[in-house]
Amino acid sequence: MTQPEVYESIQNDQALNASFWVNIALAGLVTLLFVYMGRNLEDPRAKLIWVATLMVPLVSISSYTGLASGLTVSFLEMPAGHALAGDEVLTMWGRYLTWTFSTPMILLALGMLAGTNLTKLFTAITADIAMCVTGLAAAMTTSSYALRWFWYFISCTFFLVVLYVLLAEWPRDAEAAGTDEIFGLLRNLTVVLWLGYPIFWALGAEGLAVLDVAITSWAYSILDIGAKYIFAYLLLNWIATNERVIAQQPAGIGTGVEPE
């Protein structure tokens, strides 16, 4: 199918199209809000958290524009074994591609907040990028149904690494940094919402095809609102009033002292 044809079928599915445009509008609004919220920050590490957080809605605008325009959407024929085998299924592969750019920003901000060292940050971010790229591979494999799920399994394994850093490593760092309360809140929000993505992948057209394409797209769009905009708002709101805590962090990236 040519790109204008893909675009036309997106235009004809109002629910699907709205799931893109609602996010573009929201991302634009929160970008302005976030610029305003961080305007008085001075500490370089607090500013880095701010810039990373700001990148999240900015990447989102590009991501959803790719989907809405049909550039990063394809109709792929599902392999034998899939519930829709032989059908051309609308695949929003641009989502998985752009998560590669947005999710590391979320982890950079969270890791900086926790006062992480470079090793843990590198581990979390590289595993996260690998999770997104292998998730993209799972969605785009049309040769074998089993291999789609094998990619999915690989992606889940990388996700476990991210969860390990979030749940086992950074809480201890955050305690030492005096940011444990806000870190705990944002970590819980992140872990709960991020778990929703592989669940909807498995239930949606890419996996078992229990949910249709527009419902799956809305599910991702709603998860995105929590995992990106609400997350970023809570983080920036805290940073704007507690910049001191970040500026006085005893250890972590940029302080010259490694956390224990």
In the complex, what is the shortest distance from the CB of residue 57 to ligand RET, in angstroms, rounded to a whole number? 9
In the complex, what is the shortest distance from the CB of residue 103 to ligand RET, in angstroms, rounded to a whole number? 5
Rule CB under 6 A: say whether 99 interacts with ligand RET.
yes
- Of 201, 205, 209, 243, the one binding ligand RET by CB under 6 A: 201
Rule CB under 6 A: say whether 30 interacts with ligand RET.
no
Rule CB under 6 A: say whether 109 interacts with ligand RET.
no
Rule CB under 6 A: say whether 53 interacts with ligand RET.
no
Between 212 and 241, how does the x/- string for binding to ligand RET read (CB under 6 A)?
------------x--xx-------------
Stretch that binds ligand RET, among 17-25, 28-36, 99-107, 233-241 (CB under 6 A): 99-107
In the complex, what is the shortest distance from the CB of residue 151 to ligand RET, in angstroms, rounded to a whole number? 7
Query: Which of 52, 174, 169 lies closest to 120, judged by CA?
Result: 169
Rule CB under 6 A: say whether 103 interacts with ligand RET.
yes
Rule CB under 6 A: say whether 50 interacts with ligand RET.
no
Which DSSP string do the residues of the chain spell out, in sequence order? --HHHHHHHHHH-HHHHHHHHHHHHHHHHHHHHHHHHTTT--SHHHHHHHHHHHHHHHHHHHHHHHHHTTTT-EEEEPPTTSTTTTSEEEE-HHHHHHHHHHHHHHHHHHHHHHT--HHHHHHHHHHHHHHHHHHHHHHH--S-HHHHHHHHHHHHHHHHHHHHIIIIIHHHHHHHHT-HHHHHHHHHHHHHHHHHHHHHHHHSTTTT--S-HHHHHHHHHHHHIIIIIIHHHHHHHHHHH-HHHHHT-SSBTTTTB---
For ligand RET, the closer CB: 130 or 245: 130
Rule CB under 6 A: say whether 155 interacts with ligand RET.
yes
Q: Which residues bind ligand RET (CB under 6 A)?
A: 96, 99, 102-103, 131, 135, 138, 152, 155-156, 159, 194, 197-198, 201, 224, 227-228
